[in-house]
Each structure stands twice: as C-alpha cells, then as structure tokens.
Structure 1
Amino acid sequence: MSSDIGDWYRGIPQISRYWFTGSVALPLAGKIGIVTPIQMIMNFYLVFYKFHFWRPFTALFYYPITPQTGFHYLMNLYFLYSYSTQLETEFYQGRPAEYLFALIFMWLCSLVLSCVLEIALLMDIMVMAVLYLWCANNKDVIVRFWFGTQFKAMYLPWILFLFNLVIRGGGMDQLMGILVGHMYFFLMFKYPQDFGGRQLIHTPQILYKWFPSTRGGVHGFGQRPFGGRAQRPGDDGGQDQPHRWGGSGHRLGGN
C-alpha cells in the first residue's frame, strides 16, 4: 500500500505537488503543535510593521483542522489536487513556468484582498481561483454535483459559492476566489483575444530558467485555452457527457 501511495504522490505534477505538500504538512504541523497556528495567518500590520515576512506564504498553505473545519479542509485538498493537477497536465502541459506564474499572480491578488478585507487565510481563495480557471477553460464540460444534479462547468464556481453561503453561512472567500481567477483569465486570455488589447501580464523569464519548458506549448501564449472547452459537446453521439471524479473531469459529491 505504501508503494501505491508513493506512486500516486510522485504522479502529481511538480508545481501542484509542492502546493499540495505544503497544504498538508503545515496544517498537520499546526494540529500537533509543531508550529503555532496564530503565527501562520496573514496580518497586514505584523507583516509591514513587525516584519513577519513569512506570513504571506504560510497563510497560503495553513488551514486550521478542527471538528468544524475538517470536512471543508479535506474538500479544499481534493479540489486543489484535482483541478490544479488537471490544469498543469492539460493546458499547461510541459510549461510549468507559465502555470507557476498563474499561481503567483493569483496569490498576489489574494494578498491584496486579504490586506483590504482583513482575510487571515488564503487557501479558500486560491483553491476557488484555480477551480474557476479550470472551469473557464472547460466551460461546456458537464459536471455532476450532489443529488445527481448536472450543469455546465462554467456554473460550478457559483454553485459552490451558493453552497457555502447556505450551508456554512460564509461564501466571501469563494467569491474573492472567483474574482481572482477571473482577473487572471481576463488579463491573460480574454482581453488580448476578445478585445484586441495588448498582453498586459507575462511570465517572467527567470521562471523559465528555473522551470524550463519540456516541450512546445500546444496553445500560443495569450491564446484562449481549449477554445473555451476541453471536450466539444456532441463529440460522442451528439450528447454532452457528464464528467466524473478523476481523469479529465469531475463528479462532485455523491448521488
């Protein structure tokens, strides 16, 4: 069994594996008392006036594990693993620097929002931003939610926002994640292609040196990924096919 777990872990693509590992290790370290949870959260005053420069990084990985938050944390881990892995192995395949830049850009946007709105933890925002980016790239893919409901992936972020609003009484972090994901998608793809604007954000060359591309990109940099969808409706007998957990799509929740 340990060999199977090791093979699964090594099969996670590089950037997603770093993020996933930090999001498991740091919360567990806080849970067993190796690190102090209060030292991990984002605090604008302590960062800029007390020089706690580690907080913007630890706030990305840390999440409190309690009986009240445990299930939500596990769902975040699943979404992080699943959607980040698919983005890295599908659209960003062979181009880790470009995917890392996408995460860095969305992380910086999340930090700005956390300072303005006094948000202490960034996991919810970043996971939702990555989920939104996957959905924007696969908007016509059919996904399944709980109770057998089916809808296009483009609606999934909003369904999850409403779900958190009703069930957990929250939803602000998910809404901020949608905003952050849309900001990256708009500036990188939609504005240059649909509005004829200039490319406003670019992957720094230093990231290509650290994470060199392993093959030529299928999609031109700045081009809309997948033509707006990963699978064309009607390619299989004229029917949109619901996507399930794993592979190139998801089934969210159970029937």
Structure 2
Amino acid sequence: MSDITDAYWRAPPLARTFSAAVLVTSLSVYFGLFPYRWIFFDYTLLFKFPPELWRLLTSFLLTGPQLGIIMDTYFVYQYLSQLETSHPRFNRTEDLLFYMIFCGSVITILAQSFFRRMVFLHAFVLSLAYTATQDARGQKAGFFFFTVPAQLIPVCMLGATLLMSGSLEEVLFQATGLIAAHLYDFLTRLYPEFGGGRQLISTPAFFSRLVQTPQVMQRGYGTAIRPNQPSSGSSTGAQGSGPLPDSWRTRGTGHRLG
C-alpha cells in the first residue's frame, strides 16, 4: 500500500489530482454512492439560489461505464501528465490550468448548444490527446494494439468511438474537444507566429498567485514568513564578512574573557 501511495505522490500534481477525481466520481456514481443528478451540467442550475457551481467541474469527471472507467481514467492521466511534464508550452502549472479551463469552456458551450450533452469528459480527453501529440510529429505512438504516427492519435480515437458506439453524433460531440484544443493553439501560437498578429489570449496573472506557494504562513502560535533567498549565515549565527578568518567567524558570536 505504501508503494502505491508513494507512486501517487510522485506523479505530476495536476494529472494525479484530476485523474483521481475522475476515478472516484465515476465509481461513486456507478456504484450508487451518490446520484447522477448531482453531476451533470445544466446551465439553469447555475442561476438558482444557491447556485450549483460545482457542476462546471463535475460534468468533466464522469467516465463511461464498465471498461470505460479504466480506459477513460488512463487516457486522462496519460495525456495530462505528458502536457504537465514534457510539453514545451506548459512549463508553468498556471498555463496548463488555463488551457484546461479554456478548452473546458469551449466544449461546454459547443456540446450544450449543438448536442444538448450534460457530461463532457470524452470530448475533453480528445482535446488533451490533440495538444499532447501535435508537437510529436514524426514520432510513433501506441493506440491499443496498433502503432501509428503520434499526430494521428486523435483521429484514431474518433474512429474507435464510431466503431464502438456506431453513432455519428457521438463522434461529432467528441470532436468538440478537437475544436477547443485547436482554437487554443490558433489563438496562442498559430496566429501570432504565422499570421503576424498578437497573442489573442494569455494566462491571467491571478492564475500564478493561485498555484504559487504562499510566502506567509499563518500558524496557531504566530506567523512564519518564507524568505525569498536563503540566509547567507551559517547555522551557528555568523553572518556577513569581516576581517576575521572564516574558521574564526564560524565559531559563533564569541564572549569576552576576563
């Protein structure tokens, strides 16, 4: 058990937290621990009192039933961890968090407007897969039992959806994730770099404050302030420089004799 716990805490923070939330939420719903009506998205419930704002998040946490619980959770962790640890555009946690919120917002608007969908995880997984694989052109990636060019993974996912569901509407719904991820890429990279324009969206400054370790920590017995730079003195209390040799200055403050 300790090995599993250690592996969990060694995983990338956003990937482990989001995938764990997906797994716990899905198991709770399918095993009847709490009802589906608490999970799905309904914009009218956002305007009641009190507003049910949690639905903005929980509508992205429900997988498909049975094998879908395992596969969807695996895909979430796989692609989100790739973005968090190795993608050149997400060196900062706040940039990845803003990307997730942007794509989630676009998916919600499109899926509600055109398909009346109330849970959005399948589309969100496709957006993660698209962004994680588009900068890996020329490389190979595994998809189930096949090896394909990495940039074709989103297309393979849409094909698998069509084969398993037999529904073109399901494919089109899932493709809203592709639209969301491509729109983010266009507004933040393609248009500024190749269209000669300015970057149309960027990570808000307050996102940085959300993910940074606080400088001031309130305690029950006082306030501790985390310094920006390590102290230059040694543990014995000697600080700064002076005319004495280093071996003398590390002996402490000293006392007068006699």
TM-score range, shorter chain: 0.7 to 0.9
Take 1:90 and 1:210, find their aligned partners in 2: how far apart are those partners?
Answer: 22
Take 2:2 and 2:109, find their aligned partners in 1: how far apart are those partners?
Answer: 42
Take 1:134 and 1:206, find their aligned partners in 2: how far apart are those partners?
Answer: 25
Q: Report which stretch shifted further, 83-92 or 23-32.
A: 23-32
The match for 2:156 is: 159
SS of the counterpart of 1:143?
A: strand
Take 1:141 and 1:61, find their aligned partners in 2: how far apart are those partners?
Answer: 30
The match for 1:96 is: 93
The one-letter code of the counterpart of 1:205 is A
SS of the counterpart of 1:166?
A: helix
Larger gyration radius, structure 1 or structure 2: 2
CA contact (8 A) 2:192 2:198 kept: yes
CA contact (8 A) 1:144 1:150 kept: yes
Shift in alpha-carbon separation, 1:191–1:13, aligned structure 2, 3 A = same
Take 1:80 and 1:171, find their aligned partners in 2: how far apart are those partners?
Answer: 18
The match for 2:240 is: none
Q: How does 1:181-200 map to 2 (within 5 A)?
A: 181-200=181-200
The match for 1:29 is: 28
Please point out which of 53, 74, 77 is paired with 1:78.
Answer: 74
Q: 1:19 Cα shift? A: 1.0
Please point out which of 117, 126, 129 is paired with 1:131.
Answer: 129
Take 2:110 and 2:136, find their aligned partners in 1: how far apart are those partners?
Answer: 26
Q: 1:14 Cα shift? A: 1.5
SS of the counterpart of 1:127?
A: helix
CA contact (8 A) 2:98 2:203 kept: yes
Shift in alpha-carbon separation, 1:93–1:198, aligned structure 2, 3 A = closer
Take 1:188 and 1:141, find their aligned partners in 2: how far apart are those partners?
Answer: 24
The C-alpha deviation readout for 1:110-147, integer Å capped at 9, x for no partner, is: 12123202111111111110111001121222113344
SS of the counterpart of 1:162?
A: helix
Take 1:100 and 1:58, find their aligned partners in 2: how far apart are those partners?
Answer: 16
CA contact (8 A) 1:43 1:118 kept: no
1:107 counterpart = 2:107? no
Take 2:35 and 2:71, find their aligned partners in 1: how far apart are those partners?
Answer: 23
Take 1:30 and 1:150, find their aligned partners in 2: how far apart are those partners?
Answer: 34
Q: 1:94 Cα shift? A: 4.7
The C-alpha deviation readout for 1:121-175, integer Å capped at 9, x for no partner, is: 111111110111001121222113344x432111110111012112222323321
Percent identity, aligned pairs only? 26
How many residue pairs get aligned? The number is: 207
Q: How does 1:198-213 map to 2 (within 5 A)?
A: 198-212=198-212
Q: 1:100 Cα shift? A: 0.6
Q: 1:108 Cα shift? A: 1.0
Take 1:73 and 1:141, find their aligned partners in 2: how far apart are those partners?
Answer: 28
Take 1:176 and 1:120, find their aligned partners in 2: how far apart are those partners?
Answer: 13
Take 1:18 and 1:86, find their aligned partners in 2: how far apart are those partners?
Answer: 14
The match for 1:144 is: 142
- Superposition RMSD on alpha carbons, in Å? 2.0
The C-alpha deviation readout for 1:25-71, integer Å capped at 9, x for no partner, is: 2122223333211221112333345743322211011235xxxx321
Take 1:43 and 1:114, find their aligned partners in 2: how far apart are those partners?
Answer: 12
Return 5+ residue gaps in structure 2 as ranges: 214-258
Return 5+ residue gaps in structure 1 as ranges: 214-255
SS of the counterpart of 1:61?
A: coil
